[in-house]
Amino acid sequence: MELFLDTAQVDEVRRATAWGVVTGVTTNPTLMARAGGDPEEILKAIASLVPGPISAEVIATDAEGMVREGRHLASLANNIVVKVPMTPAGLEATYRLSREGIRVNVTLVFQPGQALLAARAGATFVSPFVGRLDDVGEDGIGLVADIVEIFRAQGLSTRVLAASIRHPRHVIEAARVGADIATMPMGVLEQLMRHPLTDAGLARFLADWEAARKARAGAG
């Protein structure tokens, strides 16, 4: 399973790329608004840092507007993927953009039928929202598992991108059920690499090493 960063903060992307584990980035209008600055400059900067897919979401709600905006977003960098919401207009835009060779990520997917439609319309990625489903008492990872199973059974090549990831457990569960990608905030990526026993173990190794060094110096 690939790991994407869910952010519009260029400094976060720069920091995460140094670890060599991030192969793509997803943004959305909320993340863009939070980042401030010129959205197009942000997208270009992120796209130059990460060679993999960078999702940029349309703001238009009608198919014509989404297609127009999608073409423009895709022209900003070769690796930009156009993100469209799972609506009738979004499906039409997915169909039209994908036929032009523009990759589309269908977002705000909350049930398997939506994912099936998105795949049939030509989406390269579908984004089931795990955390937001859990928030309303539903089973977010169960949705990811259902979509993975359906796509495999049907031979659909659309990639399952687990989104709205809130904690490391979501990442592990998404991997376990076969998601192709999980996109996560920087905080979750950082949590994934930490464990208190790792820190305690390292402190102990270094203390033992230092004690032995001092003992050797004292003996000499």
Residues that bind ligand E4P (CB under 6 A): 6, 26, 28, 107, 127, 129, 131-132, 163-164, 183
Place of tokens 């919401």: 85
> Which residues does 83 contact at the CB level (< 8 Å), separation at least 6?
26, 27, 28, 55, 56, 57, 58, 104, 105, 106, 107, 127
- Complex with ligand E4P: residue 129 or 151, whichever CB lies closer: 129
- Complex with ligand E4P: residue 127 or 158, whichever CB lies closer: 127
**Active-site residue flag, 83:** yes
- Which of the residues 12, 83, 129, 165 is marked catalytic? 83
Q: How far is the CB of 30 from ligand E4P (least distance, A)?
A: 6
- 78: how many CB neighbours lie within 10 A of its CB? 9
CB distance 3 to 165 below 8 Å = no
Q: How far is the CB of 166 from ligand E4P (least distance, A)?
A: 6
Q: How far is the CB of 142 from ligand E4P (least distance, A)?
A: 17
Structure tokens, 187: 């905080």
Known catalytic residues are: 83
